Structure 1
Amino acid sequence: MESSMSQKFTLVYASLLGVGGLMGYLKRGSKISLVAGGGSAALFYYVYTELPGNPVLASSIGIVGSAALTGMMGSRYLRTRKVMPARVVSVVSLVMTGAYLHGIIRTARST
């Protein structure tokens, strides 16, 4: 079965978050980064697996998760002005929030 574009982006997003959390742990010994990155990656991997069968539920979970990351990392960027990882994750998360919203709207229109 071929993956949709939404699934591909979600898998890349989950990987980015997981690798980012691991890098935070390896570079600075931040267990919080490891847990937050790993937990976020697991959440978005779940979204990835649910998108084909239940796109509205999966996209709703994706919106909540990515909007939360946008807020948290955006606030961190405003505090620290560090592009990596705060600004990058907040911008990517904002884009993903819009993508999940678009998916819900598109699904609602087609039913």
Structure 2
Amino acid sequence: MDSSMSQKLTLVYASLLGAGGLMGYMKRGSKMSLVAGGGSAALFYYVYTELPANPVLASSIGIVGSAALTGMMGSRYLRTRKVMPAGVVSMVSLVMAGAYLHGLVRST
């Protein structure tokens, strides 16, 4: 199966979120990091699998999920001023929200 660039980016994004949640758990014992990272990774893996067959649905879910992460991690960054992980996740999520929006516009 030949993956599109959108799929590849989504798979990388899902992997980074999952790895970040696992690292938060291993480093600080944060169960919330594990649940949030794992849940986000699962959501974006679903987006990855749906992109070829149903790009409008997948892009819509991607926009909502990445916008939510942008808001949550962006506010956490503003509160703590910690670049890792809050600043990085908020910026990557903002870029991904734009990418999903672009994909949605192209699909309709």
TM-score (norm 1): 0.97
Q: Which runs of 5+ in 2 are unaligned?
A: none
Q: How does 1:1-111 map to 2 (within 5 A)?
A: 1-108=1-108
Give the Cα–Cα distance (whole angstroms) in 2 for the partners of residues 54 and 96 of structure 1.
18
Post-superposition offset of 1:2: 0.3
Identity %: 88
Per-residue displacement from partner, 1:42-63 (whole Å, max 9, x unpaired)?
0000000000000000000000
CA distance in 1, matches of 2:46, 2:105: 21
**Structure 1 residues without counterparts, runs of 5 or longer:** none
CA distance in 1, matches of 2:89, 2:17: 8
- SS of 1:47's partner is helix
Shift of 1:10: 0.1
State the superposition RMSD in angstroms.
0.3
Q: 1: distance between equivalents of 2:43 and 2:36?
A: 10
Q: Deviations over 1:51-105 (max 9, x none)?
A: 0000000000000000000000000000000000000000000000000000010
Cα distance in 2 for residues equivalent to 1:79 and 1:64: 23
Q: Find runs of 4+ consecutive structure 1 residues off by over 2 angstroms.
A: none
State how far apart, in whole Å, the 1-side matches of 2:98 and 2:106 are: 12
Cα distance in 1, alignment partners of residues 38 and 104 from structure 2: 26
Distance 2:29 2:83 in 1: 20
SS at match of 2:3: coil
